[in-house]
Amino acid sequence: MIVDQAVYRDGRRQPCADLSDELAKLADVPDGFLWIGLKDPTDAEFDLVKGELGLHPLAIEDAVNGNQRAKMEVYDGSLFVVLKPLRYIEESSQVETGEVMLFVGEHFVVTVRRGEANPLAEVRRRLEANSEHLAYGPAAVLHAVMDDVVDRYVAIDDEIAHDLEQMEESVFAGEVEVEASALGDAPPPVPHRRRGGEEARRIYLLKREVLEFRRAAVPLKDAMLRLHQHPTPNVPDEARPFFRDVADHLLRVIDHIESYDRLLSDILSAHLTRVSVQQNDDMRRISAWAAIGVAVTLIAGVYGMNFRHMPELAWTFGYPMAIGLMLVVSTVLYRQFKKSGWL
């Protein structure tokens, strides 16, 4: 549906009447432009604007179908920009991806929003309060929307960094407890049998969030660099420094994303190594107790054979001696396994 539409002249909002008439009037206004906002539009709704604005069929096809990667394309002097805004959900600590597309012409801007990840009403309100910025025309809208999307990236970057820090503390807490126990500063840690699988699941989910973040931010890099480094249709040269500032924020976020991906891989490897070591420790304990049990069973088996001429069969102290021998052998084996760290 059409969420909002207005004409802007001299940095001020004015009501929009017939599109053809408005575009004809704007032809003689250097900084005048038309801004139409659409949300989840259908083909019929696009038909209302594409003919009047002369939008390219390929760009319209991408906008109707959706699910595009972040990009910027030039069609007959107009720009088609796809952005992937993100929204951090506090309840589940997950990242939700939306989609915003912009058609930027000489005297018009059409914004197409899909999903709830990036409402543009606040962007329009802030832009309308800054008449000086609106003087740059459609480029002002392009910059404002891009700046808002990247600012959300920065906020989500902080949230993911916090989640990653908590993940590190959780995964390596066991190693800290073990070291403290070895130094005599704390009791031995109690093993959590279900903790390993849960932590691996959390690491995997966070890695998926980082991947989703990367898919949204990294492809936008080329578009941002082009906007501030090279002449671009409908973007005045004096507006290019504003895009450079947004590009700096985006590049910093991308650097963080790359480091998060590597760090999560290292954390996952360390976690799997920790689980493997824990399993080896369990197997050593089981083997040590089994060895003690085998020794006792061997003695009981020997003295349990009821042969007629067996030594000590009729000895009065044979039974206490057998029990004592079992205790001595078990104690010696236990102390040896304890000394070697198997128990």
The answer to whether position 23 is within a domain reads no
Sheet holding 2-9, edge to edge: 12-14, 2-9, 33-39, 108-114, 99-104, 78-83, 71-75
Could you list the pLDDT tens digit for every one of the 343 residues in the chain? 677 888 888 778 887 777 667 777 777 777 788 888 888 777 777 777 777 777 888 888 888 787 888 999 998 878 999 999 888 777 666 788 888 999 998 888 888 887 665 568 888 888 888 888 888 888 989 999 999 999 999 998 988 888 888 887 877 765 544 444 444 444 444 444 445 567 777 888 888 888 888 888 999 998 888 888 888 888 888 888 889 999 999 999 999 988 888 888 888 777 777 777 777 888 888 888 888 888 888 878 777 776 666 776 667 777 787 788 888 888 888 888 788 777 7
- CATH number, domain with residue 325: 1.20.58.340
Query: What pLDDT, on a 0 to 100 scale, did the predictor assign at position 186?
Result: 45
With residue 117 as reference, give the H or E element that holds it: none
Instruction: Kindly state whether residue 36 falls inside one of the protein's structural domains.
Output: no
Rounded to whole angstroms, the Cα distance separating 39 from 121 reads 11
Give this prediction's pTM: 0.72
Q: Which domain holds residue 295?
A: 283-340
Q: What is the domain count for the chain?
A: 1
For residue 331, being part of any structural domain is answered with yes
What pLDDT does 176 receive?
Answer: 46
Residue 240 maps to a domain:
no
Residue 189 has what DSSP assignment? P
320 within domain boundaries: yes
289 lies in some domain:
yes
**Residue 292 lies inside a defined structural domain of this protein:** yes
Asked if residues 244 and 197 have their Cβ atoms less than 8 Å apart, the reply is: no
Contact between 21 and 55 (Cβ < 8 Å): no
Terminal alpha carbon distance of the chain: 70
DSSP summary character for residue 69: P
318 falls within a domain: yes
